[in-house]
Amino acid sequence: MKKLIAGNWKMNGSLAANEALVKAMLEGLGGAVPAADMVLCAPAPYLAQLGGLLRDSPIAWGAQDVSAHEQGAFTGEVSAAMLRDFGCRYAIVGHSERRQYHAESDVTVANKAQRALAAGVTPIVCVGETLAEREAGQTELVVKRQLAAVIHVVAHCTSEIVVAYEPVWAIGTGKTATPEQAQQVHAVLRAQIAAATQHPERVHLLYGGSMNAANAASLLAQPDIDGGLIGGASLKAADFLQIVGSAR
């Protein structure tokens, strides 16, 4: 299974900046097959633009969120079917910023994952502990609880999700879990997935806490780390491509 490197632009970008960034990435690839599968997750208004820029390229595109509802009177929400209409193959669900700033519960995240799967969109399910939870020795308890909620709802489709472990204390802080710390949690998640599906080998486990061009190789060398969910470094073409190259 090829590794998966997913870029999360968060609330950044403009039509001009996006075009320049994507063109730089495609030029950097030079028509070669990338060492890892690649996806760029952009703010919803730019998904149509990404579709135009990336069509017929080796880079997929995805959304940063999706509604827990199929359709209806939910002003401002974007459904999974709408994302699929714009060619999105992936949608991030349960990012720590959504859990923290928008009070998303484990149940809400699970319902979003289910909606994505039903529309043919692969959810990138984020799990991770805060610094206080890690210091209290609750890391394993927290991530297993978060993932269990999703497994309970998606059931036999568990093998179709992507899971991203993103320690909250390492997101946008410049701090990164050591390769050993990240591997320890990934091994726990791998065992949990193996108990829930007959095809655990299909599930990519990504690391998502300040992975960058400098530390990517050591993190991606770990046996249970199948890729990365990249924040700031995905806004720099050279850095993102270096991370992809580290996935060999």
**pLDDT tens by residue, 201-220:** 999 999 998 899 999 999 99
DSSP code for 33: P
DSSP code for 34: P
Q: In this prediction, what percent of the chain has a pLDDT beyond 70? A: 100
- The answer to which of 97-101, 208-212, 223-227 has the lowest mean pLDDT is 208-212
- pLDDT on residue 39: 98
31: region left, alpha or beta (phi > 0 left; psi from -120 to 50 alpha): left
CA 41 to CA 169: how far, in whole Å?
A: 22
Residues annotated catalytic, as ranges: 95, 166
Q: The whole model's pTM is what?
A: 0.97
- pLDDT on residue 16: 98
CA 145 to CA 140: how far, in whole Å?
A: 8
What distances in angstroms separate CA 182 from CA 75, 155, 205, 221, one per listed residue?
A: 38, 26, 11, 11
pLDDT at 33 over 80: yes
Query: Could you tell me the two tokens for 196?
Result: 């829930």
What distances in angstroms separate CA 175 from CA 193, 207, 215, one per listed residue?
A: 27, 13, 11
Mean pLDDT across the chain: 96
CA angle, 106 as apex, 198 and 36 as ends, to 5°?
55
pLDDT confidence bin for 235, thresholds 50/70/90: very high
The residues near 20 (Cβ < 8 Å, ≥ 6 apart) are none
Burial 138-159 (b: 16+ CB within 10 A, else e): ebeebbbebbebbbebbeebbe
- pLDDT on residue 102: 97
- pLDDT on residue 170: 85
3-class secondary structure, 17: helix
Which residue segments constitute the domains of the chain, with CATH numbers given?
4-245 (3.20.20.70)
pLDDT confidence bin for 113, thresholds 50/70/90: very high
- pLDDT on residue 167: 94
- pLDDT on residue 173: 77
pLDDT tens track for 147-202: 999 999 999 999 999 999 999 988 777 777 899 999 999 999 999 999 999 999 99
3-class secondary structure, 162: strand
Mean pLDDT throughout 87-104? 97
CA 244 to CA 61: how far, in whole Å?
A: 15
- pLDDT on residue 90: 98
The neighbour count for residue 218, using CB atoms within 10 Å, is 15
- pLDDT on residue 126: 98
CA 210 to CA 26: how far, in whole Å?
A: 23
pLDDT confidence bin for 69, thresholds 50/70/90: very high
pLDDT at 41 over 80: yes
pLDDT confidence bin for 40, thresholds 50/70/90: very high
